[in-house]
Amino acid sequence: MSRLPLRANAAGLLLSVGVACVALWLGHMEPVIGGPVFGIILGILVRAFFAPNEHFNPGIGFASKYVLQWSIIALGAGLSLAQVAHTGLDSLAVTVVTISVAGLSAWGLGRFLGVGGKLKLLIGVGTAICGGSAIAAITPIIKPDQHETAFSISTIFLFNIVAVLLFPALGHMLHLSDAGFGMWAGTAINDTSSVVAAGYSYSTAAGDFATIVKLTRATLIIPICLALVVIVAYREKREGKNNFKLARVFPWFILWFLVASALRTAGALPASALPIIHDAAEVMIVVALTAIGLSSNLRRMAQTGVRPILLGLGVWAAVSVSSLLVQVVMGQL
């Protein structure tokens, strides 16, 4: 979609922002669910029951693409690579194994269940890396249908809720140490808010450890995105598209994400600005995901059926079990 004049985008942007404000309020009331999930849900409901006309489409499309990219860049400013380096190295083996397990199980189980390629990839990457944020990051690269993006985020959300409720009880039952539970939560639960909720409900030390592991895991979205760019470029070239250009498929927002993260790591960003940037990122990602919800087709989602949910369950279970097994093998539990 090209950059349209502000007047053409205004109606859809205002609708997206208005619904997102309600989602943000609900997210602060129910932080376990969070604003992004409320944004998707409210957007889908508004689309289903009020059906905004075509006049709203340019602004909704602008929000779902460009505002989404800006939110990812702003998130980079909240991630200090130096801060997570020590814990990241300790958790790297578990993280790499769980991401590999997520990819393989998503591919194999997705084929068995007959789940479409892009939806399968969205659920696999969302489970492997960082839930809705990872799905948001790869969406501009693989360009799925809006209902596929909405369905994948909804599926990830379902198992986030299950994990928040189930993991602390299982951790106590298994007599996990604070570090052991933090490692498990940080590598096996998807969204950061859910990792924080589960970790700190176990103990303060577990929450601190889980949060850093989760931030380290989130950085791996960068090589994932770059790998997807290479795949997309190869496929377009193989299909003989005469207008193929690497610059057109390269996710430049990921480059700016790295710049923002490097600035944070180098201390070039004022400490007083970081909370403002964080809040701006939260608002923008909720606006963008609300717009994706407003673009989603509820009927097509219903036609997709229960198979993506079964795929999400299978991938999530595989990641959860593999995280514990790797820690047992490495003697970390």
Give 89-136 pLDDT, tens digit per residue. Answer: 666 777 788 888 888 998 898 888 888 778 888 888 888 887 777 787
Query: Can you tell me whether residue 275 is helix, strand or coil?
Result: helix
Instruction: Summarize pLDDT for 271-323 with one digit per residue, the tens.
Output: 888 888 878 887 888 888 788 778 766 666 566 677 888 888 898 899 889 88
Cα separation, 173 vs 152, whole angstroms: 31
Q: Which two tokens stand for residue 100?
A: 């590999």
Q: Which residue has the higher pLDDT, 144 or 3?
A: 144
Q: Look at the pTM and tell me if it is higher than 0.75.
A: no
pLDDT at position 2 is 44
pLDDT at position 332 is 64
Cα separation, 31 vs 38, whole angstroms: 10
Q: Sign of dihedral through CA atoms 144, 127, 124, 148?
A: negative
**Per-residue confidence band for 18, with pLDDT thresholds at 50, 70 and 90:** very high
Cα separation, 325 vs 195, whole angstroms: 19
* Domains of the chain by residue range: 7-329
Helical packing angle, 204-219 and 81-113, nearest 10°: 70
Residue in this structure with the two tokens 């985020």, named with its chain if needed: 153
Contacts of 114 (CB under 8 A, 6+ apart): 307
Cα separation, 179 vs 183, whole angstroms: 6
Instruction: Summarize pLDDT for 159-168 with one digit per residue, the tens.
Output: 777 787 788 8
Mean pLDDT for 259-266 is 81
